[in-house]
Structure 1
Amino acid sequence: MNAEAEQLQAAIAALQAQRALLGDAVVEVALAPMRARLATLQQTTEAQQLKQVSILFADIVGSTTLTRQLDPEEVHAVMDGTLAHFTAAVQAQQGRVLQYAGDSMLAVFGAHAAREDDAERAVRAALAVLRGGARQGEWVRQQHGHEGFNVRVGVHTGPVLLGGGVDGDGTIRGISVNIAARLEQSAPPGQLRISQATWQQVRGLFVVTAQPPLAVKGVDEPLVSYLVQAERPRPWRDEARGVAGLATPMVGRQHELQQLQQALRALGAETSSPAARCVLVVGEAGLGKSRLALEFERWLAALPAPPTVLRARAVPQNGEQPYSLLRTLLADWLQIHETDASALACSKLEAGLVPLFAADQGSDLAQAQAHVLGYLLGFDFGDSRHLAGLREAGGALRSRAFHVAAQALRRGAAQAGTPLVLLLEDLHWADDGSLRFFKQLLQVNADLPMLMLGLTRAALFERQPRWPADRPADDGDGAAVPCIQRLTLQALDAAGCQLLAEGLLQRLPGAPAELLGLIVQRAEGNPFYMEELVKMLIDEGAIVVPAGDPSAPDAAPWQLHPERLRLDRVPVTLTGVLQARLDSLAASDRASLQRASVIGLQFWDEALAELDAAAPRSLPVLMLRQLVREQQATVLAQAQAFGFAHQLLHQVTYDTVLKRVRTACHLQVGNWLAGLASARANDLLGLAASHFERGGEAERAAEFYTRSAEQLSTRFAHDTVVTHAGRALALASPDDHALRWRALLVRQRSLRLQGRMPEQAADLDALTVAAEALDDDQRRATVRLRRAVAAASAGDAKGCVAACAEALSLAQHGGAHDVTLSIYSAWAGALLSLGRYDEARRVSEDGLALARQRGNQGMESELLTGLAAGASQQGDALRAIAWLQQCLQIDREIGRRINEGPVLVNLGDATMRLGDFEAARGHLQDALQLARATGDRNVQAMCLLNLASVTHLMGEHATALGHARAARQLTAEVGNREYEAFAWMSLGHAEAGLGHADEAREAYAHSRERLLELDLPHLALEADAGLALVALAEGDVGAALAHLEALLAALARGDALDGCEHPLWMRLTAVQVLRQAGDGRAAAQLAEAQSALQTQADAISDAAARQRFLQQVPHHRQILALAAADG
């Protein structure tokens, strides 16, 4: 409203206040001309407006010739049909047709409600016009035999005057109209020409070709223009940040930008190191991470051969939805939109992924790869035959899906022939599953020219301190480690703040120093805070931006109204800035934004309508005010997603909602989410629970948190399982023992697999209480079984045996057959650790008979694995391998890959004992990958321990040392004392192999001490042998003999040394020490060692395998050499 209108309103209000004094008649007479003038001013204001629009001119080529060849009715049908198509194309992109002139059309975008993508919509509509024109031309040729019918289009973006002319609201004036017309007239038939002004707004979104300068009447300089060929398969977009229409330089981040540019240039430049690189840009909210990424993307887009760029952004409410960030990345790549129906989304996923695998894997397996990945990410592939047996094997499913995703990205990049850039925004809100994938991606694609650029706050490293590093550098498994670089953004210094403030107020001539100082002071070095403060001043009218294109070189300067600059409204923090912006909204719009904030940082239009049917009407206003924006990725295909411009804006808005309103809205949203009936609804169980919790419905919240934990447990999302189960337990009634049982059961398992032993022990106590309260023997048996497994995980084999005995009695009494089978498996494993092989075999055989009777193939495989482990430890590696191969066949037939990890570990151990070290290493590396996928840290430790043994026997002592150190760290973290003792043993072997006597002695001593504490003296004998060998190497024969005292006594008793990792090496060590001491027992011990070796060798029927067994294992070779020397 202009100044005259405001003065008239004030005068009218003053007269209205004098009615009592002057009387109604006098006041009405005086008010009549004032009201008439105000109405005229308001009508003029509404009818005419100066603003920037994108203008589209379309013209039919060849219409004159067509008119001469066809009769008027036929011409009418062709022309009207073509113009009707033009109109539909414009309206589909929310444009408005202003004029038709014979065979041409004029349309504008942004006439009624300006959008930031008006130019993009205009170009898309123009391309649609061309496509329709081509179809119409072919129809004219077929129907009328007329050649040459075509269409050409021109688009320009610039300032115009709309409305107020003889054509009413269809009037448009200004040089921009002439430029658009000239662009259309000069465009070749069938093509689109756009101006540079339009190109600047759609740069990167379309394939364009620059054209020679074009002379336009009324324009001094020749016009730069472009022919648009097509829309890019994956559009590149600017972030909607900064003050609209104002170009400000990036301040204080030039060094970081150069670092990013160098990172891209370095891809593939260093052939001796992995090609993949990761750069993490770390900084708190508003410090310029997004602006830095935007400038980097602009630089990428301007390269002669731009790389392939894929983007994904995490949001807080998806942090508890596993793999949501990975899903967003794939959706961005494959153009899967939130509005796509489930079937269409699945079809797009297949169409994008299957061709990448079909060439070398065949169409059926390629389809299976797409279905596995899609199912993990929540696409509706639940009925796919390719998922048979995988649905219940969450870890195996995830492992395979991760492999598919990594290979898809690799193959896609190879197909494109350019480096791959992954831009991952707001990683501090990313879900753990996606973080795990991207960490793994860097490892498996280490040789790929790939740059992973992550934007994050420091909070990410509170959750995962080393991300994306997978493990310490001395892990030692030989895996390639990509270059990982961290760039930490700091607040702008005083000079940078001043420069940015001046840039933001560049259109305000003579900006007062106190205003600049105020912006600098309140922003405290945060660029986003500065931008938001200036926006607020504009919103409130303290700074007025004249109509027209504010980015044009000749744009009118801004105007400052000091009387409206209320210093008490200038916030001291960003919260104040954002609250002030909220207060400037109309009441209905502010209420709509508040209700949206209850839904979350990301919200859906349907959910907003659930809270208030009229609320979605405010969304265009809120988007225009840059408070919310549309989003292209959501878990719900049937609803349009929106997001707050920033998380802090969302939080400030949420804090303005009254508690009673907030509570009621949360409950409504929870009910809405709970009522969703789609294939992806399970991904929202945790979100529904959160809303129920804040809506005061504790019992329903507890139920939904429990459901979410149970569902996520099948996908091995352990961190989220623990969080959701914990919330359920906090909210559940103390008397709701059934619900508490469910939550505790799922949490205890995840805690144990993560090695969080004290916490899982507390859950076991709570489960005991719940089982007693429910008076259920099957639950009692389950708790005892869980205690047994926990004891085994802690290295307490005796405790495991005792718990199994208690559990078995309860399970058999309650008829819990599945629990009984699991008890047999745990019991047999503990007996093996104790060296009670006959008992272990009997327990395994009893369990195996019951498993086969019950038809439980999964437990049959598990119990066979136990039998195989016992056979291997007693020197019968061949029988162990035969059983383990049966296990693999069973597991793969039923799709139970979760058991493959332990099977492969035992297979690696057995093949190692036979001297087939390469095969053993392969089995163990496969097992390690599976264990990491399932999150089972104890199995990971087993893999590392065996890898240390294999590489030690291969003479790769440095590698063995790395594995042993990683195993020691891991076993200490999970609290498995038995495995930790073995890790110290492996360290001793590796250090001894490297000639580090002091380190080896210390490691062997630690191992011996821990094994004796665990009451496993038969296993401590191997540490004694190690200590003896170290003493012998130092020339201390007496000390060596002293260390061997217990071992020699065991050998004299005829002990077989079953359970020890290297029993023949222990015998060899005894021989070597006795020979150096001149002890006559040496000859007898050598003969026994040779006899034991030969007995095992004779059992190997294959000559080559037998020879490998005798010659590849170092201590076997040494025993034979000593025997031969003694003749």
Structure 2
Amino acid sequence: MTTEQQSLTAAIAGLEAQRALLGAAVVDLAVGSLRAKLAALLAAQPAAPVDQTLRQVSVLFLDIVGSTALSQHLDPEDIHAVLDGTLARCTVIVEAHGGRVLQYAGDNLLAVFGADTSEEDDAERAVLAGLALLAEGRAQGEQVLQRHGQAGFDVRVGVHTGGVLLGGGVDAEGSIRGLTVNIAARMEQTAPAGGLRVSHDTWRHVRGVFDVEPQAPIDVKGVDAPIASVLVLRARPRAFRVAARGIEGVATRMVGRDAELEQLQAAFLGVFAQGRLMAVTVVAEAGIGKSRLMGEFQNWADGRPETFCLFQGRAHPQTRHQPYGLLRDVLAWRLQIAHGDSMALAKQKLEQGIAPLFAADEGEDAALAHAHLLGHLIGLDFSTSLHIEGIKEDGRQVRHRGFHAAAQVFRRLATRDAAPIVLLLDDLHWADDASLDFLQHLVHVNADVPMLVLGLTRPTLFERRADWPGESAGAGAAAQRIELAALDRSFSRALADELLKKLPEVPEVLRERVTGGAEGNPFYMEELIKMLVDEGAISLGEERWTVHADKLLAAHVPPTLTSLLQARLDGVKPAEKLALQQASVIGFVFWDEALNAIDAHAAEALPGVTRRALVTPRRDAGFEGVREYAFSHQILHHVTYDTVLKRRRREYHAKAGEWLARLAGARANDFLGIAAEHFEQAGDKRRACEFFARAAEHARERFAHESALGHVGQALALLDKPTGTVGSETAGDRNEDGNEPGNAHAVRRLRWRLLEVRERTLGLQGRRAEQRADLAAMESLAEALADDRLRFEVAWRRCDIALRTADYAAMGAEARHAAALAERVGDRNLGLRAQQRLAIALGEQGDLEAGKAMALQGLAESRSLGLRRLETLFLNVLSVFAGLQDDPVLALRYDEQKLPLDKELGNPLNAAITIANHGESWLQLGEVTQARHWLGEGLRLTRAYGDRAMECTILLNLTQLELWAGEGGTALALAQSAMDLAVAVQNPESEARALCARGHAELAKGNTAASRLTFGRAHGIALADDSPVQHDALAGMASVAGAQGDMAAALRAVETLLAHLEGGGTLEGTDRPRLVKWVAWQVLAAHGDARANAVLAAVHAELQGLAGAITDPVLRHGFLHHIPEHCSIVAAWATGQPASPDTAA
């Protein structure tokens, strides 16, 4: 900023400070011209790099209450002195608490905690500063009353914690933007005079540290829901000022730390047994469970019969640069020196606690000397003591003698009480160096003292003290390090259940939400649950909780975790932080070469952040010469990404996308979708859509249905967005497709590709309504592009829907339409495809000979033209027709020709269908072992590829196998699964077949009433669909009626069957034609009907004719004797004795 700009800024600030005195109108008039001049100067100067950061901070607003009334009674000089003096003193308080004042405006100020570097206690220091500001306001109010006789002078303060953009504005370093600022201002505006209001988001960080008074939620402009807040009354005494963890009202057992607890217990008992010092250090990252482990150990130790003398202390972020801060905390806890004690009282407590330990053998004067030396070392003012005066300038001597005194305190106390010492030290990673020096000295010189020194730390301690607790520990004292790892999946799920035990049942989606994001960190899990509570996803009751599933997925990273992880990021070198930010744009998993594509030097920082356990290398990147890394936590990745400015994100996303787009090799296609997402975030709509399309096509080829649908959905949503909304600065001119003029043709082609992938995928899943909608959209595109080949594809795909829904009339119509289009195009390949579909339609509609002739001609022509894919399609038609004509041997021959072609052509779905058809042919021959093998393999493959219609068919065949094996229960389960699939894929004929199979299974289990109802439903569906399965259902109805002894009903069903046959009808297309006729004979014979003999003769002759066509004697024997109804027909013909009407089911 130039000198002139600085002068103008200062003048504006000066006028703003006198707003209360001069009035708003005067200040606005004067400031307006100055701001205009400043803006002109800024606009005229060359653009400079903008130093901006995104980060979570705690924002504090302070307002002086009563300043307007005061200005009415004091002259300008006095009001200036009061207000500026107050703001100056408040600024000193803010800075003393680690904050930075960014702005002054009249009689208020705005300060930020965590602006430069984040600390885990930013919010705590902001609230402590707020309380100190209230105290200053009260003091100033008393002075104003005394000096000027005016009452009512005070301050009020508000604090809120959240994300902001710092820097880069007109006011440069004082610039702060974001909703967080508005909320903090609202906290201050609604605070009472002399009060401190903090938002719920700030209170989350300091819960347990302050006494508070809950307040009713307040409205904030720009925020949808009212915001909860509290009035902070006071800080709790230091001994009790521990940020509360866990979930209020839920006492949980410790999970997954039994082995580590046993190690601590063994160390404790070892001190008693051996009488020597043992130093144990528990190491883990934040939130892993160090403090909980120590708490469980304390509870266990307190319940032991052994007597011990306890010391404990905790290091704090704000005291790590305070010499001997941790040692002072340890002694203060033991001697009950409170934070608010006067210096005189603190010194008195120290003398009373320390001197008696030395007096007996060294005398009162020497004992006081030890106490004064130790007190002086830890910061108590003993400078006027006769024992200190002569050496207070000799720091080395004070340190040496103070260390000796402190070590002697532990030694003498253990001797006096004849009990070991237990020293518990928390958060050693924040300990000051002087205290660490003393602790290493203590471990060395007190090695022979029965003493357990238990310290908790994060791994960062070893960056400062690699050999902690020191090599000297090996000279007598034992040292042990216990590494706490994150909870594994099993323990994580157990902890989630423990934390959520007030729910009647923990939904899997909630358990996964809590455990998946936390990655084994208990603190993260607790904070995620508390956030879900705060955001209404979980309602808390006295005894029971309730989950609101619709709100589970809307949750984000809790601000408590953001501050924790942001502090870790700010603790690394600038180059390392930048590399992490760049890596976060690549993703949770990233690669060194991708990082180098963003910044040629970024990968150089990876060893440092790996040592700090912020990222971890992974073994197999899948790319030659590339190393793969992952962030240590998903939440760390999210927090890091949120610190990257948007304009930088676009730049980094573009470079990451380019790197992924250039990949080659076996796994390159696996990253098409990720490349697309990077291009989308970079604002490159064209490339994003193209790569989403490629990713969708690749996913469909692998039958990864959900991935394919997801990529298509992303691309179509992007295509439907106006261009200006996808990362670009201006929208420009667009046509109706939302793209630049001239691109309409290319966009329609791209849209076709996407819809084609989705339509085929929906077809396999049986989602007919959505499939038809996509075909309608594809038809519109074909018309817009005036492309007969695309029109053909629409007709061809509609044939497929008709085939899979057994609508053979519609299939024939679409096949003829496709044939006409193929002829118009002049493409015989397309013509043969249409012919194949028409052949199926003819055969399924009852004209098997015409269909078969058409298929044979198509097969011959396909072979002559070398169209091998079409050859497989015609072989499939002929195999199906052979099955319909009761020629399973011929069907097997066609399948045996087709299967090698399917595999050679790389068509796994068609190969799966062929395998399933092969199994069905073996079933028709009665070869149970072969049938079970081929059907089982077909089921495995069709499930893998997601062909639900084919899966239904296979399940029906497997149901038949189980019925033949006498496994009615298994058959019933398979039939039910088949029926569910038939309904899902909207195929009424398959639904009727499944109901018939279920009816037979119910009958086999003796559930005749259920069987009768099921066959009735099957008959109704098949009759409405004009499906030949209606005859299978009638035979089933006759069988179950016979089993119930209702022979009249059985005869009515048979009469309907006979009327159909006598009227020229056939049983082609039924599942089990011989069973239908066998049941008819049974019922007629039971009634003594003269027609029985003719029916038996006809079905026996038919059976023998089919058997005679089977040249293989083994297969012929199996055909006659392995299929129950065939066996029964042969036996009845041989003996002339009827069987009961349900024996062959």
Give the alignment's TM-score, normalised by structure 2: 0.50
Q: 1:574 to 1:960 in 2, by over 3 A?
A: same
- Per-residue CA deviation, residues 114-168 of structure 1 (Å, 9 max, x unaligned), is xxxxxxxxxxxxxxxxxxxxxxxxxxxxxxxxxxxxxxxxxxxxxxxxxxxxxxx
Is the aligned partner of 1:796 residue 2:783? no
Shift of 1:1070: 0.8
Deviation of 1:1034 after TM superposition, in Å, equals 0.8
Match of 1:510, SS? Answer: strand
Q: Distance in 1 between matches of 2:289 and 2:1072?
A: 62
- Aligned 1:616-631 pairs, distance under 5 A: 616-631=603-618
1:661 and 2:648 aligned: yes
Distance 1:674 1:896, change over 3 A: closer
Asked whether the equivalents of residues 571 and 577 of structure 1 are also in contact (C-alpha less than 8 Å), the reply is no
Q: Does the CA contact (< 8 Å) of 1:536 and 1:580 recur in 2?
A: no
Q: 1:1106 to 1:867 in 2, by over 3 A?
A: same
What's 1:1038 paired with? 1048
C-alpha distance after superposition, 1:1087-1115 (max 9, x if no partner): 21122122212222333433332222211
Q: Does the aligned pair in 2 maintain the 1:884–1:903 contact within 8 Å?
A: yes
The correspondence for 1:699, drawn from 682, 686, 704, is 686
Is the counterpart of residue 1012 in structure 1 residue 999 in structure 2?
Answer: no
**Distance between the aligned counterparts of 2:806 and 2:434, measured in 1?**
71
Q: How does 1:899-938 map to 2 (within 5 A)?
A: 899-938=910-949
What corresponds to 1:61 in structure 2? none
Distance 1:592 1:943 in 2: 54
Q: What is the distance in 2 between the residues matched to 1:1083 and 1:634?
A: 75
Matches of 2:949 and 2:252, distance apart in 1 = 48
The one-letter amino acid of 2:860's match is: A
Give the Cα–Cα distance (whole angstroms) in 2 for the partners of residues 631 and 921 of structure 1: 43
What is the CA–CA distance in structure 2 between the aligned matches of 1:551 and 1:831, rounded to whole Å? 87
Distance of aligned partners of 1:887 and 1:591 in 2 relative to their CA distance in 1, 3 Å threshold: closer
Q: 2:752 aligned with 1:756, yes or no?
A: no
Query: 2:312 maps to what in 1?
Result: 510
Aligned pair 1:651/2:638, yes or no?
A: yes
Q: Aligned partners of 1:1065, 1:491: CA distance in 2, in Å?
A: 68
CA distance in 1, matches of 2:705, 2:989: 24
In structure 2, what is the equivalent of residue 781 of structure 1? 792
Establish whether residue 1056 from structure 1 lines up as the match of residue 1066 from structure 2: yes
Aligned AA (2:1101): S
Please state how far the C-alpha of 1:1117 moved relative to its aligned partner. 2.0
Q: 2:545 — aligned with what?
A: none
Match of 2:465 in 1: 547
Calculate percent identity across the aligned residue pairs. Answer: 38
Which position in structure 2 is the counterpart of 1:712? 699
Which structure 2 residues correspond to residues 473-488 of structure 1 after superposition, within 5 A?
Answer: none
Cross-structure match for 2:1122: 1112
Answer whether contact 1:789 1:800 (CA < 8 A) is retained.
yes
Give the aligned length: 619
Q: Residue type matched to 2:661 in 1?
A: A
Q: Aligned partners of 1:716, 1:842: CA distance in 2, in Å?
A: 34
Residue 717 of structure 2 aligns with an amino acid whose one-letter code is A
Q: Is this contact kept in 2: 1:924–1:947, CA < 8 A?
A: yes
| 2:953 paired residue among 924, 942, 947 | 942
1001-1010 or 615-624: bigger deviation: 615-624
Cα pair distance change 1:600/1:918, threshold 3 Å: same
3-state DSSP class of the match of 2:313?
Answer: coil
Separation in structure 2 between the aligned mates of residue 497 and residue 983 of structure 1, nearest angstrom: 62
Look up the SS of the partner of 1:637 in the other structure: coil
Structure with max Cα Rg: 2
C-alpha distance in structure 1 between counterparts of 2:314 and 2:558, whole Å:
18
Closer, same or farther: CA 613–986 of 1 in aligned 2, 3 Å: same
Counterpart among 874, 879, 883 of residue 872 in structure 1: 883
In structure 1, which of residues 995, 1014, 1020 is the aligned counterpart of residue 1006 of structure 2?
995
The equivalent of 2:997 in structure 1 is 986
Which residue identity is paired with 2:575? S
Report the counterpart of residue 280 of structure 1 in structure 2.
none
State how far apart, in whole Å, the 2-side matches of 1:651 and 1:897 are. 40
Structure 2 unmatched runs, 5+? 1-250, 265-286, 301-309, 319-425, 436-456, 482-556, 721-736, 738-743, 1138-1145
Bigger relative CO (Cα 8 Å, ≥ 6 apart): 1
Q: Distance in 1 between matches of 2:311 and 2:925?
A: 85
In structure 2, relative to structure 1, the CA distance for the partners of 1:1039 and 1:853 (3 Å cut) is same
1:1098 alignment counterpart: 1108
**SS across alignment from 2:1066:** coil
Q: Secondary structure at the match of 2:468?
A: coil
CA drift of 1:655 comes to 0.7
SS in 1 for 2:607: helix
Secondary structure of 1:511's counterpart equals strand
Sort the Cα spacing of 1:1023 and 1:494 in 2 relative to 1 into closer, same or farther, 3 A: farther
- Structure 2: how far apart are the matches of 1:832 and 1:538? 86
Rounded to whole Å, the distance in 2 between the matches of 1:760 and 1:538 is 65
Select 1:851's aligned residue among 859, 862, 868. 862
Distance 2:428 2:717 in 1: 43
What corresponds to 1:1081 in structure 2? Answer: 1091
- Counterpart amino acid of residue 922 in structure 1: H
User: Partners of 2:1059 and 2:1114 in 1: how far apart?
Assistant: 36
Q: How far apart are the structure 1 equivalents of 2:469 and 2:875?
A: 75
User: In 2, Cα distance between the equivalents of 1:648 and 1:861?
Assistant: 52
Q: What whole-Å deviation, never above 9, does each CA across 1:749-775 have from its counterpart, x for those lacking one? A: 122222333332222122112211211
Post-superposition offset of 1:649: 0.4
Structure 2 equivalent of residue 970 of structure 1: 981
How many Å apart are 1:889 and its aligned residue?
A: 4.5
Query: For residues 994 and 593 of structure 1, do their structure 2 counterparts lie closer, same or farther at Cα, with a shift above 3 Å needed?
Result: same
Within the candidate set 672, 676, 699, 1:685 is matched to 672
Tell me the distance in 1 between the aligned counterparts of 2:614 and 2:624. Answer: 23
The change in CA–CA distance for 1:1051 and 1:494 in structure 2 (over 3 A counts) is farther
Residue 659 of structure 1 deviates from its aligned partner by: 0.8
Aligned-partner Cα distance in 2 for 1:534–1:691:
40
Q: Is the 8 A contact 2:862 2:871 kept in 1?
A: yes
2:1111 is paired with a residue whose SS is coil
**Are residue 765 (structure 1) and residue 683 (structure 2) matched?**
no
The CA distance in 2 between the partners of 1:1032 and 1:252, in whole Å, is 63
Once the two structures are TM-superposed, the CA of residue 809 in structure 1 deviates from its matched residue by 1.5
Distance 1:642 1:818 in 2: 49
Q: Alpha-carbon deviation of 1:892? A: 4.9
Change (3 A) 1:1090 1:709: same
Residue 1029 of structure 1 aligns to a residue whose secondary structure is: helix
Cα distance change, pair 876–686 in 1 and its aligned pair in 2 (3 A): same
1:675 aligns with 2:662: yes
Query: Which SS does the other structure have where 1:603 is aligned?
Result: strand
For the 8 Å contact 2:316–2:427, the answer to whether it is kept is no
1:254 offset after TM fit, Å?
Answer: 8.0
Aligned counterparts, 1:67-146, within 5 A = none
- Residues 257 and 578 of structure 1: CA distance in aligned 2, closer, same or farther (over 3 Å): closer
Q: Distance in 1 between matches of 2:1102 and 2:257?
A: 67
The CA deviation string for residues 161-213 of structure 1, in whole angstroms up to 9 with x for no partner, is xxxxxxxxxxxxxxxxxxxxxxxxxxxxxxxxxxxxxxxxxxxxxxxxxxxxx
Amino acid at match of 1:1058: E
What is the aligned partner in structure 1 of residue 713 from structure 2? 726
Q: Which amino acid aligns with 1:792?
A: L
Distance (Å, rounded) in 2 between the aligned partners of 1:551 and 1:1027: 85
CA drift at 1:867 = 1.4
Q: How does 1:178-577 map to 2 (within 5 A)?
A: 498-499=295-296, 510-511=312-313, 537=430, 545=461, 547-550=465-468, 573-577=560-564
**DSSP 3-state at the match of 2:617:** strand
Q: By how many angstroms is 1:1011 displaced? A: 1.5
Distance 2:297 2:894 in 1: 71
Q: Distance in 1 between matches of 2:784 and 2:799?
A: 21
What is the aligned-residue RMSD (CA, Å)? Answer: 3.8
Structure 1 distance, partners of 2:1109, 2:434, is: 93
Q: Which residue of 2 aligns with 1:588?
A: 575
Whole-angstrom CA distance in 1 between matches of 2:957 and 2:432: 67
